[in-house]
Amino acid sequence: MIEVLVFATLNGLVSGLLLFMLASGLTLIFSMMGVLNFAHASFYMLGAYCAYSISLHFGYWTGLVFAPLIVGVLGALVERYGLRRVHKSGHVAELVFTFGLAFLIEELVQLFWGTDTKNYQIPDSLDFALFTLFGQEFSAYRAFMIGIPICIFIGLYHVLTRSRIGIIIQAAITHPHTVANLGHNVPRIFMVVFGVGTALAGLAGVIAGPVLTTFPGMAQVLGSIVFVIVVIGGLGSLSGAFIASLLIGLLQSYAIASDLGMPDLLALLGVEFPRDHPLDDLWTLTLPQIGPVLPFLFLVLVLSFRSTGLMGKRES
């Protein structure tokens, strides 16, 4: 039992922190521009594919450095020449723009790289078991997947709260017009934030690609869950996104690890239904089965009790 708990926690950390890398960028973009960037997970996919191609010729570590840069520059270009033009037409147009962009990126990825699963592998230098606990290995790469996002969280937090640009970004989140009136180039701040946000998504793709497989559906799998995290954490709150990501990651991991379900509840209540009961599907439902729905349930709960999310400040 204890081994399941330990590994469920580690797995939850890995997937939670991965989600955080996506959510951190998204929450900043969302809060600054008021735009839900539907294409955010597509940049994650783009990161994985770029890194795959680079790793074929120059190895994994080159991909780790350059793929996020490429994705970040692409993101900044999208903001500069796409979103900024659409911005005049209002939020709905921006929303539709990013929605279309998500499809466009997915199609382009399939056009360039094909529809097959890509053989993107973890680097040899991290391909060993870090430790073996209760007969199960925990690979060094997974530890790496925990380490990188934590460094990013610390770094981003530092920049946002301590540096000058961070303070301007913070101000632009809550008082965009005042910041503009003070003479700061708010559009450029937007572009930088968008670029950095997409670069982070790209980095997440580079790191996750070898473990969670690089295939054309990888954006879809993560897409909706990232929005859930951003809303649960509270708009624009980096700490909120961090906490929400970990919560969701652990919640899903524990749900899968547990074997509890309706049969246990019914047994506890002393109720029994025949196998051919019309609601048999309901009576045999288990926690692992509904694991993927839990984040959405959690979202509904959080929103109904605290509409700003866990750490959100601004009522929008």
Partner 1 sequence: MSLLSKRFHLRGVLLAIVLFSGSTSQAQEPVRFAFIDPLSGAFASIGTSALRQLEFAADYYFNSQGGILGGRPIEIVAFDNQQSPTETQLQFRRVLSEDIRIIFQGNSSAVANTLNDAISRYNRRNPNQEILQLNYAAVDPVLTNDNCSFWHFRFDAHAEMKLAVLTDYIAGNEAIESLYIIGQDYSFGRVVADTTVELMAQKRPDVEIVGTEFHPIGQVKDFSPYVTKIASSGADAVLTGNFGADMVSLARSIIDSGLDIPIYTFYAAYDGITATLGEDAKGQVYLVHNEISNPVPTEERKQFTRAFKSAHPSTDVSQPRIINALRMTVAAMEQAQSTDPDAIALALEDMRFVDFSGEEIWMRSDDHQAFQSLYISMHTDEDIEFDADNSGYGLYSIHRAPAEQTLIETSCRMRRPRP
Residue in 222, 230, 243, 246 binding partner 1, rule: CB under 8 A: 222
User: Residue 136 or residue 163: which is nearer to partner 1 going by CB?
Assistant: 136
CA distance 3 to 192: 44
Q: How many residues bind partner 1 (CB under 8 A)?
A: 47
The 281-300 site mask, x for binding partner 1 (CB under 8 A), equals -------xx--x--------
Q: Nearest-5° angle of CA 216, CA 219, CA 224?
A: 145
Q: Does 4 bind partner 1 (CB under 8 A)?
A: yes
CA distance 258 to 285: 13
Q: Does 76 bind partner 1 (CB under 8 A)?
A: no
Residue in 215, 237, 244, 295 binding partner 1, rule: CB under 8 A: 215
Q: Give the Å distances, CA to CA, from 179 to 30, 88, 161, 175, 183.
A: 17, 19, 16, 6, 7
CA distance 187 to 180: 9
Locate all alpha helices (DSSP H) within 182-293, ordered by sequence: 186-212, 218-233, 238-257, 262-269, 280-283, 287-290
- Please report, as residue ranges, which positions from 5 to 34 form the binding site for partner 1 (by CB under 8 A): 7-8, 11-12, 14-15, 18
Piece of the chain touching partner 1 by CB under 8 A; list 71-79, 180-188, 216-224, 303-311: 216-224
Q: Does 213 bind partner 1 (CB under 8 A)?
A: yes
Locate all alpha helices (DSSP H) within the chain, ordered by sequence: 2-33, 40-58, 60-78, 84-87, 91-113, 140-162, 164-174, 176-181, 186-212, 218-233, 238-257, 262-269, 280-283, 287-290, 294-305
Minimum distance of partner 1 from residue 3's CB (angstroms) = 5
- Please report, as residue ranges, which positions from 239 to 268 form the binding site for partner 1 (by CB under 8 A): 252-253, 256-257
Q: Give the Å distances, CA to CA, from 77 to 13, 24, 106, 202.
A: 33, 20, 18, 15
Q: Does 75 bind partner 1 (CB under 8 A)?
A: no
Residue in 81, 124, 132, 270 binding partner 1, rule: CB under 8 A: 132
Q: Does 185 bind partner 1 (CB under 8 A)?
A: no
User: Residue 16 or residue 236: which is nearer to partner 1 going by CB?
Assistant: 16
CA distance 251 to 18: 14
Binding site for partner 1 (CB under 8 A): 3-4, 7-8, 11-12, 14-15, 18, 106-107, 110, 114-121, 129, 132, 134-137, 139, 141-142, 208, 211-213, 215-218, 220-222, 252-253, 256-257, 288-289, 292
